[in-house]
Amino acid sequence: MFRERLAQLINKEPDMKVHVEADNIRDGFDLIANSGATVAVIDIRLKASSGLELIKNLRSFGIKIPLLVLSVHDESIYAERALRAGAQGYITKQEASSKIMTALRQVLAGQVYVGHEVTTRLIGHVIGRRQPQLTGVERLTDRELAVFELLGLGRTARQIRDELGLHAATVETYRARIKEKLNLENGAVLRSEAVRWVHRM
């Protein structure tokens, strides 16, 4: 539904048109790579993987189309991850439609778009300030965060394995690392914390 509303918003612009849409990483990759589009809008949450994985795959294959991440997820957790993966911008779905179009045009023009909080943090990195100590979920790697979110969405270990294309042992390794980093005593507490995390987004 959100994708449809976004397409309507973009199609109202006299100089823009939505060419293709997809809800999963495989179709998204093929369409972005072959559609001839000049910019792509990507959500963090996609079927069968994460939007971050789609961005990394596109960049690893040398596909240089500008990418704007538009997501419900917390900017403080995901924006820098998206930029590191190869996106040019990050904006949350809670922003006004006018801001979304501003972000899209800025990325299309070859510039970077992020919110004020992330801009301040990135500038602090550049001028040599001490990087803040990462706490909680911020300490998780991209793949650990993807597993954590899927746990919060009620996925079983087998479903996580299938959605992310992992071996069963690898899923258990990620679960163990997440518990250690978040100081969670057991699997039940891990799942409860993951559910709480997903529901607060």
Calpha distance 199→2 (Å, rounded): 18
**Model pLDDT for residues 85-134, shown as the tens digit of each residue:** 999 999 988 888 889 999 999 999 999 998 877 777 777 666 766 555 55
Q: Taking the alpha carbons of 130, 133, 138, 140 in that order, is the dihedral positive or negative?
A: positive
Query: If pLDDT is split at 50, 70 and 90, which confidence band does 31 have?
Result: very high
Record: fold of 2-126: Rossmann fold (3.40.50)
Mean pLDDT across the stretch 135-163? Answer: 88
Least-confidence region, from 57-61, 77-81, 83-87, 127-131: 127-131
Can you give the pLDDT at residue 88?
95
What are the C-alpha distances in Å from 127 to residues 22, 93, 194? 39, 30, 35
Can you give the pLDDT at residue 125?
63
Can you give the pLDDT at residue 135?
61
Q: How confident is the prediction for the chain on average, in pLDDT?
A: 87
**Model pLDDT for residues 99-113, shown as the tens digit of each residue:** 999 999 999 999 999
> What pTM, to 2 d.p., does this model score?
0.77
* Percent with pLDDT over 70 in the chain: 92
Spans of all domains in the chain: 2-126, 136-200
Token pair for 108? 């299309």
Can you give the pLDDT at residue 29?
93
Q: What are phi and psi for residue 174, nearest 5 degrees?
A: -65, -40
Calpha distance 69→48 (Å, rounded): 17
**CATH 3.20.20.70 describes domain 136-200:** no
Enumerate the β-bridge partners of residue 47.
24
